[in-house]
Chain A
Amino acid sequence: MTAGVLRHRQAAWGQGGARALAIVAVLALWELAARANADSFVLAGPVEVARYLWQNAPLLTRALGATLQSAAWGFVWGNLAAILLAVAVVLIPRAERVVAALALIVFCLPLVATGPILRVLFGQGNGPQITLAALAVYYTTFLPLVVGLRAVPQSWLDLIRSHGRGRMTQLIHVRAPASFPYLIAGLQIAAPAAILGAMVGEFTGAERGLGVLTIRAMRALDVDATWAIATLAAGVSILAYGGFGALVRRLRVESPAVLLTPPDHRHRRPPWRRLADIGVIVAIALVLWQATMDLFDLNPFFAKRPGDVVAFLLTGPDAAAHRATLFAAYGETLVFTLPGYLAGLALGAGLACGVVLMPGLATTALPLSVALRSVPIVATAPLIVLALGRGAVGTITIVTVMIFFPTLVACLQGLRQTPGQIIDIFDTYASGRWRLLRLARVPAMLPAFFASARMAVPAAILAVTTAEWLATGNGIGSLMALTASTSDYNMLWSAIVLVALTAALAYGAVAWIEAQVLAVYAMEQTVRR
């Protein structure tokens, strides 16, 4: 063994040791906090969690098995859909605008509202869980896969064309193999997301699964059970995420540097063209909505059509009252979402910069936050509600936590993108860390930050509606839960439309800001093939 290899091994051991130490420290802090708050019925420490897990092992194993089964099927279907959509976009570039927009709108449908409708549609069984798991994963695979299928040198494509072969051959011989690392990266993010989707599906009245146990524990105010189930769900999610990470290392797949490209702004389109685009997309979405309902001949009692929503909100007898109810709830939700969203982004980016200023922190902070980002919101939301109560602080915190970890991870990876030679140049002028951070590292981080800010929009809405639905009893999430249980499907569908529209528009707004900023700071990344 050469000295170099030996050093490498020692470093690996050192890192592993640091990581183990960090885990032990977290457990110890957790236990201490639990002991200190023993009478407040908020926190269960690791010892109580372990005891609960041990005592209820058969029940939990059965529930976990059911959840994982649903998650696995959702994972398969969702990713299959993502691959088909991405291939369609690459083979038929004209269709991209429409396909990408529709994919986004579907992704923005609030899971907590589509869940109850799917429950009525599927009846008993695990149909809703699988569908929601698929809905939770397909978009995060679709986006990087499209980037990967595109990010190939022009000359590779010309090579295929110079042999008189077309797009299909380009796809098979060049694009598909080149996009493999992007697919794997997407699947890794999808693995914990599928578990989240399956659990939300179980909230809607499944017979078994971790989601069912979560609801039961929360209703009974059973602190030990809530914490134990959350720990179990979080642990399994981290394992699923880590398992894919291990697979990546095993296959020696190089992680792509840029997973999400900024929106295309190369073709500056006049405003009326963009408005026309939006109009066309909305029209297609409405036609698809109506057509799906009619094609499967779904019962109009729960499967509302666009016309029903228009009548309910605009033309019907009590339209004004309906609008007032809906928008009052919507207003409450926005008040919680916006501060949480901004706080999550600021904290994530801020901590990433802090970690770079103190390089020693990075070795432990990154793996820890990578692990924590994979913890599903449905696992942590009940705990935060237990700790911070059912008011504004709890809800905002849930949104913040949901946004914080992905942003931190993306920003840390973005900060690493600073070219080494630029750092060398700053070093030759003996610039301090702050100046390097401000002038070189932060601009290099911006593409990753904005990609994360864009993806955080649907995430924030998922978080806030889930929290409102599960716990707080405020806002549009609660309204959706209420109308689902009272079979007020007109209001439920109206809420879905409003939430999906808000999410899609907010996503578009962030993308617009992103394009403006990156046109200055990262021009090379806004060029696409």
Chain B
Amino acid sequence: MAADIGIRGQAVRCEDLSRTFTSPAGSIAAVDATDVTFAAGQTTALVGPSGCGKSTLLRLIAGLEAPTTGTVRIGDETPAQTCQRGALAVAFQDASLLPWRTLRGNIALALTLARRPADPDRVDRLIAKVGLQGFEDRRPAELSGGMRQRAAIARCLVGDPELLLLDEPFGAVDELTRRRLNYELPKLWQANGTTALLVTHSVTEAVLVADRVLVMSPRPGRIVADIDIDLPQPRTRGLESETAFRTLTATVAEALMDIAPPRQFAAQ
């Protein structure tokens, strides 16, 4: 399906990937011996309980964390090389807009950091695409939580990345706004054939946004289920009442329930 619109995204391959954190209390395998490939142009959601290592996996792919063992390849590059080219973008849970820059300045920053020429037209076009026209000269403190997340996505997309990494970007906004963003924003990168990886707590969000859902279990962090979401893109309102959607949501939820509960609850 992605082939007919042209895929500019890169496939991501993780081989035998592990990341172990050591502290005086002992060591924790946040990500353990993980082999996974993310197909080019697809949006993959990564769900799992808190502390299961999904954010660590994302940070390993972004090159923000160094693996204990194994490798990450983005196309035929290392994460560092992709970062250097400015072809990778990350959205964080808090929008991470710089408070002293205007909305326009925050989005233009991504071009500056990628060593690209300033392009005010492109910046304004993206602001319009995420529905923030009229707020170009406002500062983050003057925007609502939902607006800030729209801005963060616009900042990610302004450089036209090949790989988009989303670390619970809608986790801090209210449920109504979140659902609205779930429908509106994925189109923007999916239309370009960008490869995207979305870390989320929400089963509904995962099924609503992604082409494929991976379920992760904690300690050690491993992928325990791999579910294809064969619903047509772009997703439209009303999808949530369809049987196919409900079945898929239930499948993902079941896979999450199968994960062994934390030890202190196991006895009950």
Contact = CB atoms under 8 A, between A and B. Distances in A.
Contact of B113 (A155, A165, A177, A180): A165
Contacts of A155: 92-94, 96
B165 to A, nearest CB: 8
Given A156-B98, A173-B109, A174-B98, A161 B83 contact: yes
Given A165-B113, A173-B113, A177-B98, A159 B86 contact: no
A153 B96 contact: yes
Contacts of A268: 24
Contact of A164 (B83, B94, B112): B83
Contacts of B114: 163
Interface in B26-48: none
A56 interface: no
A162 interface: yes
A153 B100 contact: no
Contacts of B82: 164
A292 interface: no
A158 B113 CA distance: 12
Given A153-B94, A173-B98, A174-B98, A158 B85 contact: no
A169 B113 contact: yes
A160 B110 CA distance: 9
A156 B100 contact: no
Given A158-B90, A169-B113, A164 B96 contact: no
Contacts, number: 55
Interface string A170-207: 00011001101000000000000000000000000000
A158 B60 CA distance: 12
Interface residues of B, number: 26
Contacts of B93: 155
A162 B165 CA distance: 10
Main secondary structure of the interface of B (DSSP, over half): mixed
Contacts of B74: none
Main secondary structure of the interface of A (DSSP, over half): helix
A268 B112 CA distance: 40
A161 B64 contact: yes
Contacts of A177: 98, 100
Interface in B62-115: 62-64, 80, 82-86, 88-90, 92-94, 96, 98, 100, 109-110, 112-114
A169 B112 CA distance: 10
Contacts of A156: 96, 98
Contacts of A180: 100
A177 B110 CA distance: 17
Contacts of A162: 62-64, 83, 88-90, 165
Contacts of B165: 162
B96 A163 contact: no
B34 to A, nearest CB: 21
Given A153-B96, A164-B85, A177-B98, A159 B80 contact: no
Nearest to A177: B100
B90 A159 contact: yes
A164 B84 contact: yes
A180 to B, nearest CB: 8
From B62, B84, B85, B92, name the one whose CB has the most chain A CB atoms within 10 angstroms.
B92
B166 to A, nearest CB: 12
Nearest to B80: A164
From A153, A162, A164, A178, name the one whose CB has the most chain B CB atoms within 10 angstroms.
A162
Interface string A331-373: 0000000000000000000000000000000000000000000
Contacts of A178: 98, 100
Contacts of B100: 177-178, 180
A169 B110 CA distance: 12
Contacts of B83: 161-164
A464 B89 CA distance: 58
Nearest to B94: A155
Nearest to B87: A164
Contacts of B88: 162-163
Nearest to B89: A162
A174 B112 CA distance: 13
B84 A158 contact: no
Contacts of B98: 156, 173-174, 177-178
Contacts of A161: 63-64, 83
B19 to A, nearest CB: 16
A501 B92 CA distance: 47
A163 B110 contact: yes
A159 B96 contact: yes
Interface string A253-289: 0000000000000001000000000000000000000
From A158, A160, A173, A174, name the one whose CB has the most chain B CB atoms within 10 angstroms.
A158
B92 A159 contact: yes
Contacts of B109: 173
A160 B88 CA distance: 11
Interface string A238-261: 000000000000000000000000
A160 B113 contact: yes
Interface string A508-528: 000000000000000000000
A165 B84 CA distance: 7
B87 to A, nearest CB: 9
Nearest to B99: A178
Contacts of B64: 158, 161-162
B22 to A, nearest CB: 13
B160 to A, nearest CB: 13
Interface in A430-463: none
A517 to B, nearest CB: 21
Contacts of A160: 113
19 contacts: A155-B93, A158-B59, A158-B62, A158-B90, A158-B92, A158-B96, A159-B90, A160-B113, A161-B64, A162-B89, A162-B90, A163-B86, A164-B80, A164-B85, A164-B86, A169-B113, A173-B112, A173-B113, A178-B100
The 4 closest A-B pairs by CB, nearest first: A164-B83, A164-B84, A163-B113, A155-B92
Interface of B: 24, 59, 62-64, 80, 82-86, 88-90, 92-94, 96, 98, 100, 109-110, 112-114, 165
Interface of A: 153, 155-156, 158-165, 169, 173-174, 177-178, 180, 268
Given A158-B90, A159-B92, A163-B110, 11 more contacts: A153-B96, A158-B92, A158-B96, A162-B63, A162-B89, A163-B88, A163-B114, A169-B113, A173-B98, A173-B109, A173-B112
